[in-house]
Structure 1
Amino acid sequence: MVTLIVFVFCLFILQFLKLQWARKSLPPGPVPIPFFGNFPHVSFKVDHNILDKLAKTYGNIYTLWLGHKPVVVLHGFPTVKEGLTTHADDVAGRMNTPFFQRIANGKGIFFSSGVIWKHERRFGIATLRKLGLGNKGIERGIQVEARHLMEFFQSTDGKAVDPAYPIVLAVSNVICTVVFGHRFSLEDETFQKLVKALHFFTDFANSTSQILYDICPWLMRHLPGPQQKVFVLCDFIHSFVRKEIRIHKERGKIDDPEDFIDYYLFQMAKTENNAMYKHDEDNMVQSVFDLFLGGTETTATTLRWALLYMVAYPDIQEKVQQELDAVLGSSQSIWYEDRKRLPYTHAVVHEIMRFCSIILIGLPRETVRDTTLLGYPVPKGSIVIANIYSVLTDPEYWEKPFEFDPGHFLDEEGNFFCREAFLPFSTGFRLCLGEQLARMELFIIFCSLLQTFRFTLPDGVKEADTQCILGSTVQPRPYRVCAFLR
């Protein structure tokens, strides 16, 4: 026993000295604890209060440690922009933590790096364009889901309801139409399970359990907890996608593709004998998983914030509706092009994205070679995190960073303009693949709802609760609203 204690103590000291040597040239930061790094210092969670406090102590670029791995944090607009764009190639990798490795195995778009990432991302962008992104093809699918969501609110007859689930289903069905070529009914039990599995995954990410898994995977694999459930649910999502792929193969539409899976099957056949890179089914499955993950949770959560802000700020809701009435009248179909005629509404949509800041930190990147970030040498394999919240609330670029004010996006004449510090979709080579789709969904669904309904708080509720719940996205607390036909 004494020998074991001495051995552990010596190992602890050795690891401590190794960390001190490794952190000498990196950006400053708190002293890491052997094996656990700095995450005990931040209570095994990452939130904006902790990150802001660290920035005040150590500056706009500082280092935390995930076990023995350095995590360079970028804070504020100038630092984030320079850190992710000056050497964009150098920070284009994706950190391959034990959790991400178990989820994606280096496949797909979001969690891959190098050759796989370049080919899968390029194919994803090209395919979304072929399916109508950038023209009115995908917009028609968004309009369909907006109408289904409007039918739901109309069926409530002014009674108080929680809009979260119907919104998530509507947004998910937009992705389903793009990926599978069809939508699911709200009563479909398998579809409901898929949506709930994605929601659990996003709740698990950035949780204490996820951080502990990445620090001690060998231990967490054998302990009960949410990490066991999240892997079961991810396997379910992969199985769900593979079933759809089998259906598409049997349908035999790859010569006349109608959706993302059709195009991917065609690409697999096209590159079957390609010595440079072959698209395969594992990458297709993970890419579909990534499209669901990126295209459902973020957009749906932003729309939930949008309705909450409209009941919290009824004067702004009224101004939006006045502009919609004046410009569009009784027009039933709203197109993304209409944003150019609706400057105030367009500004409100942007302020919703800025103020709720649902992505606290961008999905962590990894340096693919030794590089320099803002004058500090950063070795290959370091994790780089961009504090997106600090960009969207940087007082040097926003007059009222902690107030909801559409004026942030309006000039003196009331015309819309977008500020350079508006980076909710991050920046650099890892810029969000679905940015344009998300912008279209938010605008079309938001305008469709406000054109048709007046949203209010339930009777007896005097004030909207705009406090948040922190997970991998920043979510509103559960709330209820009443929708009245205008």
Structure 2
Amino acid sequence: MEPLGTATILLAMCVSFLLFFSTWRKRSGKGKLPPGPFAFPLIGNMLQLSRKNLPKHIEELSGTYGPIFTIYLGSEPVVVLSGYEILKETLINLGEEFSGRGSMPIFKKNTTQPGIIFSNGEQWKQLRRFALATLRNFGMGKKSIEKRIQEESHFLMERLRNTHGQPFDPTLFITHAVSNIICSIVFGNRFDYEDKKFVTLMSLIKKHNNYSQKIKTLLYNFLPTLMDYIPGPHHELYRNSQMFRQFVLERVNMHKESLDPNSPQDFIDAFLIKINEEQKNGHSNFHMGSLLQSSVELFFAGTGTTSTTLVFGLLILLKYPEIEEKVHEEINRVIGQSRSPCMADRSQMPYTNAVVHEIQRFIAIVPLGVPRAVTTDVHLKQYVIPKGTTIFPRLKSVLYDRTEFPNPEQFNPGHFLDENGAFKKSDFFMPFSTGKRICVGESLARMEIFLLLTALLQNFTLKPVLDPKDIDLMPVTSFITIAPKSYQLCVLPRERD
């Protein structure tokens, strides 16, 4: 290593060390943080925590330290919350106090401007309120968006028919369909699957997912100052985000030219109109930066978790063909083959509805939740959590609660069925989180998962390329989310009435 490089890294370590003690001194005396594993200066719990499966390791620590404990990502403390009662007390009963967004270094590096997901305070409230109202205006949770999903479903079914029963990886097809639905809301139009711009977008999403799963990306959250000087996927993740932001900027400029203030066609149009309305407000939260970041966040959030849930769901059904067969029987009885599934069917399809819920419960796609932060000093049990402290609300601890879901490690649609076979709701079902930071697109995601999965099983029978008993459901983990391992399947057309 060159002397200058060595000196730079040593300087960075010294700065980080000083920052650690500065943070420690500020926090000491303000309150009593929950106990946790011993943390070293500068690196925190980096040496103790598993870099390959952080959510699983934190789950194990919960067994040792209980429902409330503290870990250190580098010099920053993170309070981990587990169990339904604790999450209800904090995210719901103390919703305002726990409504901040946690500051994770890797997020901060890739988020140059405020958006809906990573903003805080009044800025977050205004952007979230606007996003919810705008998404509802463009049909989220209504018949109009249901029609968009059904239309995209037809394109997806046609692509699946063209596989002609040959093995293929469903990830790209599913991601294309889900992405096009959010594209129609944010950008105003869907893309042809072969469109060069769309192909580029899908490539950026794939690279983003790959970079997010790398060890160095996780390490960035422990030692951001040091890792800034070390090459690796965390830098590629940043460049990837910048490329997508450039795509959004191009779409925004196109919208500026065609904008009709009296007739907004999509989210970008509505945001541009809001920017114009607030031009005289020198401190407005609606500007080009928040538009670009909010659009990026909506696209990634609206594409990633929903498509992953569907791809994982298909893998689960491949492993349990008897469950798929029961869904086929219910589809035949309620819908048949002559029309597309609709949301009105869901109330008449308790078993299919239970399968959809069990898929989301079982995979626990965001096991640690998206990081929160407390907006003020909070008294919780015998502890005091200082303002600004990052919070990990362990959603999986609720989705795998043994009193609510017996044998939670087993995939069982009966978790959401009563003794009469009717669908049974559960307060413990919170894959979209809960409280004031609950996912903005929850209702859209629920519609997409039900309609796309039902349409797929209406048209096709799934055929595994492996013996079902050999199918591995162990996920691949990143810092926040999980995904299934890459796999292939065949889809065989079902006979029509």
**CA distance in structure 2 between the aligned counterparts of 1:98 and 1:202, rounded to whole angstroms:** 17
Q: After superposition, where does 1:190-229 map in structure 2 within 5 Å?
A: 190-205=197-212, 207-229=214-236
Return closer, same or farther for 1:22/1:172 CA change in 2, 3 Å cut-off. farther
Residue 377 of structure 1 aligns to a residue in which SS?
A: strand
Unaligned stretches of 5+ residues in structure 2: 1-10
- Larger CA deviation: 105-114 vs 343-352: 105-114
- One-letter amino acid of the counterpart of residue 304, structure 2: E
Structure 2 residue 172 is the aligned partner of structure 1 residue 175: no
Residue 96 of structure 1 aligns to a residue in which SS?
A: coil
- Larger CA deviation: 306-315 vs 75-84: 75-84
Q: Residue 62 of structure 2 contacts residue 82 of structure 2 at CA under 8 Å; is this kept in 1?
A: yes
Q: Percent identity?
A: 39
Equivalenced residues, count: 480
Q: After superposition, where does 1:68-87 map in structure 2 within 5 Å?
A: 68-87=75-94
Q: Residue 31 of structure 2 contacts residue 384 of structure 2 at CA under 8 Å; is this kept in 1?
A: no
Residue 458 of structure 2 aligns to a residue in which SS?
A: helix
Q: How does the TM-score come out when normalised to structure 1?
A: 0.93
Structure 2 residue 436 is the aligned partner of structure 1 residue 424: no
- One-letter amino acid of the counterpart of residue 337, structure 1: A
1:272 to 269, 279, 292: 279
**CA distance in structure 2 between the aligned counterparts of 1:231 and 1:120, rounded to whole angstroms:** 23
Structure 2 residue 58 is the aligned partner of structure 1 residue 51: yes
1:438 to 419, 440, 445: 445
Q: 1:140: Cα distance to partner? A: 1.2
1:477 to 482, 485, 488: 485
Q: Residue 202 of structure 1 contacts residue 473 of structure 1 at CA under 8 Å; is this kept in 2?
A: no
Q: Residue 167 of structure 2 contacts residue 465 of structure 2 at CA under 8 Å; is this kept in 1?
A: yes
Deviation track 1:138-178 (CA, whole Å, cap 9, x = no partner) reads 11111122111111111111111110111111111111011
Aligned to 2:6: none
Aligned to 2:116: 109
Structure 2 residue 315 is the aligned partner of structure 1 residue 318: no
**CA distance in structure 2 between the aligned counterparts of 1:22 and 1:196, rounded to whole angstroms:** 49
Return closer, same or farther for 1:23/1:482 CA change in 2, 3 Å cut-off. farther
Q: Residue 103 of structure 2 contacts residue 390 of structure 2 at CA under 8 Å; is this kept in 1?
A: no
Q: Residue 29 of structure 1 contacts residue 58 of structure 1 at CA under 8 Å; is this kept in 2?
A: yes
Aligned to 1:394: 401
Q: 1:18: Cα distance to partner? A: 5.5
Aligned to 1:61: 68
Q: 1:465: Cα distance to partner? A: 2.1
Q: 1:312: Cα distance to partner? A: 0.8
**CA distance in structure 1 between the aligned counterparts of 2:294 and 2:199, rounded to whole angstroms:** 20
**CA distance in structure 1 between the aligned counterparts of 2:203 and 2:44, rounded to whole angstroms:** 33
- Larger CA deviation: 213-222 vs 49-58: 213-222
Deviation track 1:21-44 (CA, whole Å, cap 9, x = no partner) reads 579811110111000111221034
Residue 393 of structure 2 aligns to a residue in which SS?
A: strand
Deviation track 1:412-451 (CA, whole Å, cap 9, x = no partner) reads 1111121111110111110011100000000000000000
Residue 365 of structure 2 aligns to a residue in which SS?
A: coil
Return closer, same or farther for 1:344/1:461 CA change in 2, 3 Å cut-off. closer
Q: Residue 96 of structure 1 contacts residue 106 of structure 1 at CA under 8 Å; is this kept in 2?
A: no
Q: After superposition, where does 1:160-309 map in structure 2 within 5 Å?
A: 160-205=167-212, 207-274=214-281, 277-309=284-316
Aligned to 1:341: 348
Return closer, same or farther for 1:422/1:225 CA change in 2, 3 Å cut-off. same
1:38 to 21, 35, 45: 45
Q: Residue 46 of structure 1 contacts residue 206 of structure 1 at CA under 8 Å; is this kept in 2?
A: no
Q: 1:464: Cα distance to partner? A: 2.0
Query: Aligned Cα RMSD in Å?
Result: 2.4
- One-letter amino acid of the counterpart of residue 313, structure 1: Y
Q: Residue 123 of structure 2 contacts residue 285 of structure 2 at CA under 8 Å; is this kept in 1?
A: no
Return closer, same or farther for 1:323/1:11 CA change in 2, 3 Å cut-off. closer
Q: Residue 126 of structure 2 contacts residue 285 of structure 2 at CA under 8 Å; is this kept in 1?
A: no
Q: 1:201: Cα distance to partner? A: 2.8
Residue 429 of structure 1 aligns to a residue in which SS?
A: helix
- One-letter amino acid of the counterpart of residue 310, structure 2: L
- One-letter amino acid of the counterpart of residue 307, structure 2: A
Q: 1:218: Cα distance to partner? A: 2.8
Residue 133 of structure 2 aligns to a residue in which SS?
A: helix
- Larger CA deviation: 339-348 vs 368-377: 368-377
**CA distance in structure 1 between the aligned counterparts of 2:209 and 2:466, rounded to whole angstroms:** 32
**CA distance in structure 1 between the aligned counterparts of 2:24 and 2:150, rounded to whole angstroms:** 60
Structure 2 residue 148 is the aligned partner of structure 1 residue 141: yes
Aligned to 1:373: 380
Unaligned stretches of 5+ residues in structure 1: none
Deviation track 1:373-425 (CA, whole Å, cap 9, x = no partner) reads 23421001111101111111111211121111111111111111211111101
1:332 to 339, 345, 351: 339
- One-letter amino acid of the counterpart of residue 170, structure 1: A
Q: After superposition, where does 1:457-476 map in structure 2 within 5 Å?
A: 457-458=464-465, 463-471=470-478, 472-476=480-484
Residue 95 of structure 2 aligns to a residue in which SS?
A: coil
- One-letter amino acid of the counterpart of residue 395, structure 1: R
**CA distance in structure 2 between the aligned counterparts of 1:133 and 1:13, rounded to whole angstroms:** 44
Q: 1:303: Cα distance to partner? A: 0.3
**CA distance in structure 2 between the aligned counterparts of 1:459 and 1:105, rounded to whole angstroms:** 45
Q: 1:230: Cα distance to partner? A: 0.8
**CA distance in structure 1 between the aligned counterparts of 2:206 and 2:111, rounded to whole angstroms:** 17
- Larger CA deviation: 347-356 vs 65-74: 65-74
- One-letter amino acid of the counterpart of residue 478, structure 1: S
